[in-house]
């Protein structure tokens, strides 16, 4: 339950930040750029003893409580899949297609 509550807090904070921007761009990070995190996640699910060798920092408080900086990049238009996500985040409007709605599981 605590995990769900913190995720709700993060979602609320994300929605609050959206009101400060005229536009928003979301993009997928390629596997090459995300290789280190990908390896760590595989190690964590593969071998608990091996995971002990990976340094982990335990935070004393949720990062949602930190002061965040906005990094913005001006874009001219959204791709279709990004526009659907942004529409949902801002207006809570889901696509009409049931298959598309299932992609919005939070």
* 95 located within any domain: yes
Cα dist. 41→44, 60, 100, 102 in Å? 5, 22, 27, 25
* 49 located within any domain: no
pTM attached to this predicted model: 0.29
* 55 located within any domain: no
**Number of domains forming the structure of the chain:** 1
Cα dist. 28→17, 33, 59, 62, 82 in Å? 20, 10, 26, 24, 10
**Domain limits for position 68:** 2-29+61-104
In tens, the pLDDT along 25-66 reads: 778 887 778 887 777 777 666 666 665 666 767 777 666 655
Cα dist. 22→4, 25, 75, 78, 82 in Å? 29, 11, 10, 12, 15
Q: What is the CA radius of gyration of the chain?
A: 17
* 41 located within any domain: no
* 77 located within any domain: yes
* 43 located within any domain: no
* 42 located within any domain: no
* 96 located within any domain: yes
């Amino acid at each position: 339950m605590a995990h769900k509550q913190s995720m709700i807090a993060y979602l609320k904070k994300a929605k609050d930040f959206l009101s400060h921007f005229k536009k928003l761009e979301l993009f997928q990070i390629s596997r090459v750029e995300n290789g280190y995190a990908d390896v760590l996640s595989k190690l964590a699910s593969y071998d608990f003893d091996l995971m002990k060798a990976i340094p982990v920092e335990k935070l004393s408080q949720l990062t949602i409580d930190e002061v965040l900086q906005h990094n913005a990049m001006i874009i001219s238009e959204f791709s279709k899949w990004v526009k659907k996500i942004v529409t949902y985040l801002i207006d809570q409007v889901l696509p009409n297609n049931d298959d598309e709605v299932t992609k919005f599981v939070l």
